[in-house]
């Protein structure tokens, strides 16, 4: 089983590259951001609560996203592996994921961290906002808050995974094809 975490700040290209990876390696894509947006579109109670935080660029509670991931793992027992995109985002989520994977499958093989400069991130997110329809991509102060959440709560995960010898940095600037080639070269070492 090939379980991969795609790690990086908002706008680093995780969603785009996750799509390339699942197609090439036939894995299941688990994006908590996409799951939350589906809850919002379905106007569920969970979605309405999550929207209040997402609209401010804040993280939703760990228990909410951990619960969603657990459901997906339980519902995809035949999967060849998973690409986690936008999850985990806190150390508590990462520990919960390790526990869940022990129960449902195999541990994470590799954490691929997309490294992109701050100016490039803001530029990409605001550009994406023109077409994504995502309110949290269109407002500069929300974008800034998402980056602050990332730096304070998510970036410490890099050392969590480095301590497990799973963290690999990948240059996240360049063409989509070049970045995908670098990601694939790393994944091939584990598949």
Q: How far is the CB of 14 from ligand AMP (least distance, A)?
A: 7
CB atoms under 10 Å from CB of 104, counted, come to 18
Among 6, 18, 59, 114, indicate the residue that binds ligand AMP (CB under 6 A). Answer: 59
Q: How far is the CB of 148 from ligand AMP (least distance, A)?
A: 11
Given the residues 14, 51, 52, 153, the one annotated as active site: 14
Task: By CB under 6 A, tell whether 53 contacts ligand AMP.
Answer: yes
* Closer of 79 and 97 to ligand AMP (Cβ): 97
Find the radius of gyration of the CA atoms of the chain. Answer: 16
Task: By CB under 6 A, tell whether 10 contacts ligand AMP.
Answer: yes
Is 124 among the residues known to form the active site? no
Residues in the chain: 191
H or E element that contains 171 = strand 167-171
Q: According to CB under 6 A, which residues from 68 to 107 bind ligand AMP?
A: 86-87, 89, 93
Q: How far is the CB of 81 from ligand AMP (least distance, A)?
A: 19
Q: How far is the CB of 55 from ligand AMP (least distance, A)?
A: 8
Choices 19-27, 57-65, 160-168, 179-187; region in contact with ligand AMP by CB under 6 A: 57-65
Choices 28-36, 38-46, 107-115, 170-178; region in contact with ligand AMP by CB under 6 A: 28-36
Nearest-angstrom CA–CA distance, 154 and 169: 15
Is 128 among the residues known to form the active site? yes
Q: What is the DSSP string of 13-82?
A: SHHHHHHHHHHHHT-EEEEHHHHHHHHHHTT-HHHHHHHHHHTTTPPPPHHHHHHHHHHHHHH-TT-S-E
Nearest-angstrom CA–CA distance, 80 and 4: 11
CB atoms under 10 Å from CB of 54, counted, come to 21
Nearest-angstrom CA–CA distance, 184 and 96: 27
- Provide the binding-site residues for ligand AMP, judged by CB under 6 A: 10, 32-33, 36, 53-54, 57-60, 65, 86-87, 89, 93, 136, 146
Catalytic residues: 14, 89, 128, 134, 146
């Amino acid at each position: 089983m090939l379980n991969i975490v795609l790690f990086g700040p908002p706008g680093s290209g995780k969603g785009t590259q996750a799509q390339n990876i699942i197609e090439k390696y036939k894995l299941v894509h688990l994006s908590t951001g996409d799951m939350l947006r589906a809850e919002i579109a379905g106007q569920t109670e969970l979605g309405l609560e999550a929207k209040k935080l997402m609209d401010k660029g804040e993280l939703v509670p760990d228990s909410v996203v951990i619960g969603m991931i657990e459901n997906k793992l339980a519902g995809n027992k035949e999967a060849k592996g998973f690409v986690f995109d936008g999850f985990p985002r806190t150390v508590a989520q990462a520990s919960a994921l390790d526990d869940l994977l022990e129960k449902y499958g195999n541990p994470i093989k590799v954490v691929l961290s997309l490294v992109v400069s701050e100016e490039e991130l803001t530029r990409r997110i605001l550009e994406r906002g023109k077409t994504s329809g995502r309110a949290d991509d269109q407002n500069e102060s929300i974008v800034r808050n998402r980056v602050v959440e990332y730096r304070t709560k998510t970036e410490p995960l890099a050392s969590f995974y480095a301590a497990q010898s799973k963290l690999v940095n990948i240059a996240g600037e360049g063409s989509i094809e070049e970045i995908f080639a670098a990601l694939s070269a790393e994944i091939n070492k584990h598949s």
